[in-house]
Amino acid sequence: MSDGAPILQVNHTSRSYFENGKEFEVLKDITFELRDRDFVCIVGPSGCGKSTLLREIVGLDKPTSGEILFQGQPVRPEDPRMSMVFQSFALFPWLTVTQNVELGLEAHGAGPEERKGKAKKYIDAVGLAGFDNAFPRELSGGMKQRVGLARALAMDPVLLCMDEPFSALDALTAQNLRDEILQLWLNPDLPPSAVLMVTHSIDEAVYLADRIVVLTSRPGKVVKIETVDLPRPRNRKEPEFYGWVDEIYSLIV
């Protein structure tokens, strides 16, 4: 959608759980939106409700109050216009790379030719050409996450959601993948239109995002939405970079 309308609107949503008859508020009055070409990170301390919020956005959970709209309509589970990359990769070990990438397409009724074509396109796009028939056990952590990414992109999503996608990876692999995500996102010929990523790493958020939704915990609330106007590629060694990291850190602690 490039008519300037928001892709995603999170409007005053809250989420509570009940434990031993007592209400336990996890998220309180969360409001923000995403538009075409946005790369937004949600940061906050562990347990502040980041994953819960992302699950609500993709329709896997429901807010207790408030609304979440995707392209102007209430979100619905398994909407192929939104796809998700998980920290744990979430691959099926008994399926090959191609079969794992084809899974979402198959679930949405794509025929064998379309599945094959899209799987190949995105396996190549994430740098896994030649590994089409490999099984997850034959791949490194970084390669497994590339499969997770190819599977998400194969749906041609408008919105790509990622939940701590790099935190199970070693530092060097994580940094390579961050750069590659940016390259993919900057490529106008490839989806998605916007990216929403949850991370506990402030450094990672400042490296990647145009805007950062900063949450505090118990219950998770938006303390500030920062617009990071650093030019790309961003350099962690520059004072402006760690100025941003310090600024966001000071909002959380």
How far is it, in rounded angstroms, from Cα 165 to Cα 89? 8
CB of 27 to ligand ADP, least distance (A): 8
52: contact with ligand ADP by CB under 6 A: yes
| Ranges within 5-44 binding ligand ADP (CB under 6 A) | 17, 26, 44
Taking CB under 6 A as the criterion, the residue among 5, 12, 47, 236 binding ligand ADP is 47
At its nearest, how many Å lie between ligand ADP and the CB of residue 66?
16
Q: Between residues 37 and 62, which has the closer beta carbon with respect to ligand ADP?
A: 62
Q: Which residues contact 20 (CB under 8 A, 6 or more apart)?
A: none
Segment holding 172, helix H or strand E:
helix 171-186
Site for ligand ADP in 165-194 (CB under 6 A): none
Is residue 88 a contact point for ligand ADP (CB under 6 A)? Answer: no
Q: Which stretch binds ligand ADP (CB under 6 A): 3-11, 46-54, 82-90, 171-179?
A: 46-54
**71 versus 216: smaller Cβ distance to ligand ADP:** 216
Distance between CA atoms of 246 and 244, rounded to whole angstroms? Answer: 5
State how far the alpha carbon of 63 is from the alpha carbons of 57, 66, 142, 236, in Å.
9, 7, 33, 36
Task: Locate 212 and state its tokens.
Answer: 């950062």
